[in-house]
Amino acid sequence: MNRTTLNDCLRTVIDYRGVTPHKRGTEWQDSGVPVLSANNVKTSGLQKMDEIRYIPEDKYSSWMKIPLEKGDIILTSEAPAGEVYYWDTNEKVVLGQRLFGLKVKPEINSKYLKYYLQSSVGQKAIRGQQSGSTVFGISAATFPSIVVNLLDREDQDKVANLLYDLDLKIQNNSSICSDLEAMAKLLYDYWFVQFDFPDENGKPYKSSGGKMVWNKELKREIPEGWYISNLEPFIKVIRGVSYNPDIHLSGISITMSTSARMAISFSAC
């Protein structure tokens, strides 16, 4: 393993942290090229994108004389310092307040460097270079003091590719879960709030003229034939199993209230 510094891993640092629209002769817009700040960049991904601001397309080159390109790394300088994001797209973007753009030397795997900086060892190295009286941060001048441990290039590629593939799978699964959750919420709203569940003809019940009756407990109309009931008649409680072989459950007691709330108590030997 080769012990080096962050500065020696980089061929270029993009640092426009003090740039503002007025200094570039433009104003914020509702569309155009997005301008990222430290508020948007987190190690877990880009955040608060609904709050993003834009500059005109024709002003892009005056802001980003050195463009951020696919394979570069975005690093926050403060608030907090050390958030790391891998730029894996060819889309144009402007780096605004409290952000560095790191262009990695070709002999170093930029994904590996990204994961190293995200690791507990990398974060400790970054935090060790923070300074400031009220807001702690780092500057490009600290990069020669941030230690980076490099594997051989072949091992860098193996580590980086494995971790990146796992990240992509996690992102894909998270997206699927979000879509399923949104679908479930929509379905619940249609069926149990708007009461537009499919009737016997497959049409939305209430919207198709399904009969509604007043319910005193809910103080609203519900579909005819629907009623309020406790949970108890519809469930069967089965004792669970302890997965720790050193812990045995000696007893379980279940109490059902009239409002269908269950109180379950376990006692362990």
The rounded distance, in Å, linking the Cα atoms of 100 and 142 is 12
Write out pLDDT tens, residues 204-228: 999 999 999 999 988 999 999 998 8
Task: Evaluate if pTM is beyond 0.95.
Answer: no
| Whether pLDDT at 263 is above 80 | no
CA angle, residues 122, 45, 41, in degrees to nearest 5: 75
Question: So what's the pLDDT on residue 145?
Answer: 95
Rounded alpha-carbon distances, angstroms, from residue 24 to 15, 18, 51, 59: 15, 11, 21, 8
Residue 261 pLDDT = 34
Least confident of 7-21, 217-231, 244-258: 244-258
Could you tell me the fold of the domain covering 2-149?
Adenine-n6-DNA-methyltransferase TaqI; Chain A, domain 2 (3.90.220)
State pLDDT tens for residues 168-212. Answer: 999 899 999 999 999 999 999 999 999 999 999 999 999 999 999
| pLDDT above 60: residue 258 | no
**Sign of the CA dihedral running 69, 86, 74, 111:** negative
Domain locations along the chain:
2-149, 232-268
- Please determine, for residue 158, whether its predicted confidence score (pLDDT) is greater than 90: yes
Q: Name the region of 143 (left: φ>0; alpha: ψ -120 to 50; beta: rest).
A: alpha
